[in-house]
């Protein structure tokens, strides 16, 4: 037996892959599947970005870059914060990374000591707790209620803070709930963390994909948090593996030396390609995509509610809906597999996202065409009608 580090026992696989595999088997049998399981936009990188990548390869811009990223991209990101969010950020605070994943790992490696605890909402993005485990820290999931928009609050942070707590991680809008933290609550959370001498990592990977309020960023509230972002979602570049983070100025040298050692740099080709994201025409494409996501949400949320499904909080961002299916089942895992087998609609059981009533929830993604969403709702109607209990 090859010697495996003990910490791996605490790292769960992506359970979602089980249902994705079942969906693939179904498709191999020639049966149709509507994927509402996907955590990536159904739009790829716009033409201008693709062309910029090809041009970068043609002119040989394919070597390593500086660990913090190429200067023009760091500057373009800051110009974007200024233009779209009215926030001035010094390019020296930007670190270009291999996706938000690379940023989350670097950020935690920079701030987390062995056995230190990190508070995060439950439900939340599963990898966060596994990043913490991989660094020998302890993820402490805090049940986040619908009334709290499934986010941490200052009260929940204070209630769960212990001597071992080093900081908090949150994402706004959140995966799997699509709900954002309000600026007031975020500000109170940041104050509570600061008073306790902790760190705050705010993941804004779904920034830009919001539908009910203007642009928001934790950077308008503080220079003292680590703010994570990515080209994966709003910018439609999942497989390019490119993201960034904005650091408190004093953290830059710490993260720079970690980045040099752990990754050398993010993909240079992707960095050059990403410069095209900020051209006016490309930004117009992104805005039109955002509007399409909004139309899908505006269709799907009421349609699911009409089918009797409970959506405790209307999602205001990302492309996820966190649905309470407990009226129809006692086990959302079974529910998702039955839904797939009987209708071909593929959604994600709550199990991946934490321990706070996962059996009551599924995550539905609307990163698929409107025609698919309409068809999915058609198919789900009879399936749910067969299972409906008495309405309370
Ligand atoms: C909340 C959140 N953070 C981070 C990531 C990682 O994204 P990437 O590494 O592609 O930027 C994801 C991906 O789904 C996510 O949902």
Residue 392 in domain: no
For residue 392, pLDDT beyond 50: no
Q: How far apart are CA 186 and CA 216, in angstroms?
A: 11
Are residues 246 and 217 part of one domain? Answer: yes
Are residues 223 and 335 part of one domain? Answer: no
**Average pLDDT, rounded, for the chain:** 96
For residue 242, pLDDT beyond 80: yes
Are residues 142 and 66 part of one domain? Answer: yes
- Mapping DSSP onto H, E and C, the string for 320-370 reads EEEEECCCCCCCHHHHHHHHHHHHCEECEEHHHHCCCCHHHEEEEECCCCH
The CA 232 to ligand 1 mean position distance, Å, reads: 7
Q: What is the pLDDT of residues 284-343, one digit of tens each?
A: 999 999 999 999 999 999 999 999 999 999 999 999 999 999 999 999 999 999 999 999
The CA 101 to ligand 1 mean position distance, Å, reads: 6
Q: Which of 124, 71, 89 is nearest to 275 (CA)?
A: 71
Q: Which residue range(s) make up the domain with 145?
A: 47-279
Do 263 and 236 contact (CB within 8 A), yes or no? Answer: no
Do 356 and 332 contact (CB within 8 A), yes or no? Answer: no
Ligand 1, residues at Cβ distance < 6 Å: 39, 99-101, 125, 171, 175, 203, 205, 230, 232, 238, 243
User: Last residue of some domain: 222, 253, 279?
Assistant: 279
In this structure, of 6-15, 66-75, 177-186, 298-307, the range with the lowest mean pLDDT score is 6-15
Do 329 and 358 contact (CB within 8 A), yes or no? Answer: no
Q: How far apart are CA 376 and CA 189, in angstroms?
A: 38
Are residues 212 and 72 part of one domain? Answer: yes
Are residues 40 and 52 part of one domain? Answer: no
Are residues 354 and 215 part of one domain? Answer: no
Instruction: Please give the number of the atom of ligand 1 that sits closest to the Cα of 243.
Output: 11
Residue 1 in domain: no
Taking CA atoms only, the protein residue closest to ligand 1 atom 7 is 100
In this structure, of 8-12, 59-63, 183-187, 362-366, the range with the lowest mean pLDDT score is 8-12
Are residues 259 and 329 part of one domain? Answer: no
Tokens coding 197 = 């001498």
According to DSSP, the residues that pair with 95 across neighbouring strands are 245
Task: Name the band, by pLDDT with cuts 50, 70 and 90, for residue 13.
Answer: confident
pLDDT score for 1 = 84
The CA 60 to ligand 1 mean position distance, Å, reads: 29
Task: Name the band, by pLDDT with cuts 50, 70 and 90, for residue 389.
Answer: low
If one residue of 232, 237, 348 were mutated to test the ligand 1 pocket, choosing by the most ligand atoms within 8 A of its CB, it would be: 232
CATH of the domain at 30: 3.90.1150.10
Task: Name the band, by pLDDT with cuts 50, 70 and 90, for residue 391.
Answer: very low
Residue 322 in domain: yes
Residue 159 in domain: yes
For residue 350, pLDDT beyond 90: yes
Work out the angle at residue 140's Cα, subtended by the Cα atoms of residues 137 and 145, and round it to the nearest 5 degrees: 155
User: Last residue of some domain: 225, 248, 279?
Assistant: 279
Are residues 253 and 330 part of one domain? Answer: no
Taking CA atoms only, the protein residue closest to ligand 1 atom 4 is 100
User: Last residue of some domain: 259, 279, 299?
Assistant: 279
Q: How far apart are CA 354 and CA 128, in angstroms?
A: 11
Are residues 165 and 295 part of one domain? Answer: no
Residue 253 in domain: yes
Residue 369 in domain: yes
Residue 320, sorted as left (phi over 0), alpha (psi -120 to 50) or beta, turns out to be: beta
Are residues 158 and 147 part of one domain? Answer: yes
Residue 257 in domain: yes
The CA 284 to ligand 1 mean position distance, Å, reads: 23
Do 347 and 388 contact (CB within 8 A), yes or no? Answer: no
The CA 325 to ligand 1 mean position distance, Å, reads: 25
Do 132 and 139 contact (CB within 8 A), yes or no? Answer: yes
Cα 110 from chain centroid (whole Å): 21
pLDDT score for 38 = 83
For residue 137, pLDDT beyond 60: yes
Q: What is the pLDDT of residues 102-134, one digit of tens each?
A: 999 999 999 999 999 999 999 999 999 999 999
CATH of the domain at 142: 3.40.640.10
At how many degrees (to 10) do helices 16-28 and 332-343 cross?
10
Are residues 27 and 64 part of one domain? Answer: no
Instruction: Please give the number of the atom of ligand 1 that sits closest to the Cα of 318.
Output: 16
For residue 156, pLDDT beyond 90: yes
Phi, psi of 59 (to 5 degrees): -90, 5
What is the per-residue burial (b if ≥16 Cβ within 10 Å, else e) of 114-153? eebbbbbbbbbbbbbbbbbbbbebbbbbbebeeebbbbbb
If one residue of 44, 230, 235 were mutated to test the ligand 1 pocket, choosing by the most ligand atoms within 8 A of its CB, it would be: 230
For residue 390, pLDDT beyond 70: no
Are residues 348 and 268 part of one domain? Answer: no
Instruction: Provide, rounded to the nearest whole percent, the portion of the chain with pLDDT above 70.
Output: 99
Residue 117 in domain: yes
Report the domain count for the chain. Answer: 2
Q: What is the pLDDT of residues 42-56, one digit of tens each?
A: 999 999 999 999 999
């Amino acid at each position: 037996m090859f010697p495996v580090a003990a910490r791996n026992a605490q790292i769960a696989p992506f359970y979602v892959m089980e249902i994705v595999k079942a969906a693939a088997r179904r498709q191999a049998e020639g049966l149709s599947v509507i994927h509402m399981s996907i955590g990536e936009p159904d739009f790829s990188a716009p033409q201008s970005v693709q062309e910029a990548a090809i041009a970068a390869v043609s002119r040989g811009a394919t070597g390593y870059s500086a660990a913090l990223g190429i200067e023009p991209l760091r500057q373009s990101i800051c110009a974007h914060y200024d233009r779209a969010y009215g926030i001035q950020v010094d390019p020296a605070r930007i670190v270009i990374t291999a996706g938000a994943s690379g940023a989350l790992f670097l950020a935690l490696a920079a701030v987390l000591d062995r056995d230190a605890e990190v508070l995060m909402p439950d439900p939340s993005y599963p990898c966060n707790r596994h990043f913490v485990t991989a660094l020998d820290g302890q993820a402490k999931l805090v049940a986040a209620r619908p009334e709290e928009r499934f986010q941490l609050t200052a009260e929940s942070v204070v209630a769960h803070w212990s001597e071992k707590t080093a900081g908090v991680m949150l994402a706004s809008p959140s995966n799997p709930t699509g709900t954002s933290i309000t600026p007031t609550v975020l500000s109170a959370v940041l104050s509570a963390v600061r008073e306790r001498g902790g760190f705050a990592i705010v993941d804004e990977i779904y920034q830009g994909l919001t539908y009910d309020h203007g642009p928001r960023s934790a950077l308008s509230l503080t220079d003292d948090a680590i703010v994570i972002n990515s080209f994966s979602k709003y910018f439609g570049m999942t497989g390019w593996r490119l993201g960034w983070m904005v650091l408190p100025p004093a953290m830059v040298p710490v993260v720079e030396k970690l980045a040099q050692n752990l990754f050398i740099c993010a993909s240079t080709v992707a960095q050059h390609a990403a410069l095209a994201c900020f051209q006016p025409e490309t930004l117009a494409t992104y805005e039109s995509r955002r509007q399409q996501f909004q139309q899908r949400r505006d269709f799907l949320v009421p349609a699911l509610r009409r089918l009797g499904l409970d959506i405790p909080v209307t999602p205001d961002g990302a492309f996820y809906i966190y649905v309470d299916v407990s009226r129809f089942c006692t086990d959302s895992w079974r529910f998702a597999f039955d839904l797939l087998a009987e209708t071909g609609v593929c959604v994600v059981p709550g199990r991946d996202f934490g321990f706070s009533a996962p059996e009551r929830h599924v995550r539905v993604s609307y990163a698929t065409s409107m025609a698919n969403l309409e068809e999915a709702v058609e198919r789900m109607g009879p399936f749910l009608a067969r299972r409906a209990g008495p309405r309370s």
